[in-house]
Amino acid sequence: MIKAPTGTRDILPEDVKTWQRIEKTAGEIFTLYGYEEIRTPIFESTSLFQRSIGEATDIVEKEMYTFKDKGGRSLTLRPEGTAPVVRAYLEHQFPQRDQFQKFYYIGPMFRYERPQKGRFRQFHQVGIEVFGPNHPMIDVEVIAIQWRIFKELDVSDLKVKINSLGCEKCRPGYRKALIEHLKKNRERLCETCQRRLERNPLRVLDCKNPGCQQVVREGPKITDYLCNDCREHMKKVTDGLESLKIPYEVDPFLVRGLDYYTKTVFEFIHTALGAQNTVSAGGRYDNLVEELGGPEIPGIGFALGIERLVLILNEKGLPEEKKPLYFIPLGEEAIKEGIKIMEELRDSGIPVIWTGKVASIKAQLRQANKRGADRVLILGESEIENREIKLKDMKEGREEVIKWKDLKEHLRYYF
């Protein structure tokens, strides 16, 4: 019997609900921040990834699905989403229209890796790319977006790690100090890292081998080598995170598996995921657009691994979706006032349903219950008189009386 290729998986109907929920939540949150979806091809010219990700990275050295098509072109199944989006941004002359752009994408990526829990050969990412701004508060916003996605899906036990990889001014100084340190400890490094040492020493920081990690931790910290500009940038990012009460940890040894990052890099770690515990990651890439043949335009982005988020949600269960309110008017006067109240609520995006049924409170409550309402709004004569409305929690039976003028503000808590 033919089976799905190693490292790929079918997403069966019973799992699709979780996937759709993640896609919907992420899409809505991206829209909230002004991001627009972009869809790029599944395969690209191989050189796009060689030039952007870096020749001496694991991805380009050994993980790419590269093939020649019948016309002899070298093509590669995309291993990540950033380079294709940059390519499209340049190809369609976005910089000439407006350098400031916010994109999001969703879809499969391909890497020839050793399959294991949370690691596949075809996996899926949702991600964003921002072009134009170099303001550190955009870095904060990009981190806040991820934070909001996890919050919305009720995922806790998350740790945000951040670091700065410096820029072309200060990174060489760190690189030199790192090479010196690694050379002194060469015999303690794994074979791959011994090879990486000269070609791409920062890659050693990302090695999962405990021996190599120990050597790295005894070595120089990039945060001690940052130039004033990069140091200030980092300070503004951490200050911004604090002002939003997003807990973070500076990890001076954090690097990413791709060479194009500058300044801010970050990872969202889920403490219960085991070995593959990074759910979402990214950073700033101020030179990438230029390196791919465009003008000097800074950028920043992240990619979130959907399979890993599905793992978390499967263990914890999906949070209940917010259900619309049901409006229960008692009498003609209540309907007349209620139609205005409902319109105002919908104006601020609060979903509220009136079935149109004119019936006793008992019958209307029964109907709302049958439709799975969490909360109902009850408007009777005495409430109208006091310009109030009753909010009833259907599960707990709790009732609150709220002034009309406070209703929107009050309901904002639930929606």
List residues binding ligand ATP (CB under 6 A).
80, 111, 113, 118-120, 123, 125, 256-257, 276, 278-281, 303, 305, 307-308
- CA–CA distance, 264 with 360 (Å, rounded to integer): 60
Cβ distance 329 to 379 under 8 Å? yes
Cβ distance 195 to 292 under 8 Å? no
From Mg ion, ligand ATP, none, which one binds at residue 279 (CB under 5 to 8 Å depending on kind)?
ligand ATP
What are the CA-CA distances from residue 253 to residues 160, 235, 288 (Å)? 14, 17, 22
Phi-psi region of 256 (alpha: psi -120 to 50; beta: other; left: phi over 0): beta
Q: Which is nearer to ligand ATP, 114 or 405 (CB)?
A: 114
Instruction: State the minimum distance, in angstroms, from the CB of residue 125 to ligand ATP.
Output: 5
From Mg ion, ligand ATP, none, which one binds at residue 80 (CB under 5 to 8 Å depending on kind)?
ligand ATP
Q: Which is nearer to ligand ATP, 157 or 381 (CB)?
A: 157
- CA–CA distance, 404 with 388 (Å, rounded to integer): 5
The structure tokens listed for 297 are 């335009």
Q: Which is nearer to ligand ATP, 113 or 344 (CB)?
A: 113
- CA–CA distance, 259 with 149 (Å, rounded to integer): 27
- φ and ψ at residue 167, rounded to 5 degrees: -135, -170
In the DSSP assignment, the letter for residue 319 is P
Q: Which is nearer to Mg ion, 79 or 240 (CB)?
A: 79
From ligand ATP, Mg ion, none, which one binds at residue 25 (CB under 5 to 8 Å depending on kind)?
none
From ligand ATP, Mg ion, none, which one binds at residue 266 (CB under 5 to 8 Å depending on kind)?
none
Q: Which is nearer to ligand ATP, 270 or 392 (CB)?
A: 270
- CA–CA distance, 174 with 220 (Å, rounded to integer): 8
From ligand ATP, Mg ion, none, which one binds at residue 281 (CB under 5 to 8 Å depending on kind)?
ligand ATP
Cβ distance 87 to 47 under 8 Å? no
Instruction: State the minimum distance, in angstroms, from the CB of residue 331 to ligand ATP.
Output: 55
Q: Which is nearer to ligand ATP, 306 or 341 (CB)?
A: 306
String of contacts with Mg ion for each residue 250-289, x by CB under 5 A: -------x--------------------------------
Nearest-5° Cα angle at 27, 151 to 286? 90
Instruction: State the minimum distance, in angstroms, from the CB of residue 104 to ligand ATP.
Output: 14
Q: Which is nearer to ligand ATP, 38 or 255 (CB)?
A: 255
Instruction: State the minimum distance, in angstroms, from the CB of residue 214 to ligand ATP.
Output: 19
Cβ distance 356 to 365 under 8 Å? no
DSSP 287-328: THHHHTTS-S--EEEEEEEHHHHHHHHHHH-PPPPPPPEEEE
Which residue's CB comes closest to ligand ATP? 305
Q: Tokens 């490292």 sit at which residue?
A: 7
Contacting residues toward Mg ion, per CB under 5 A? 257
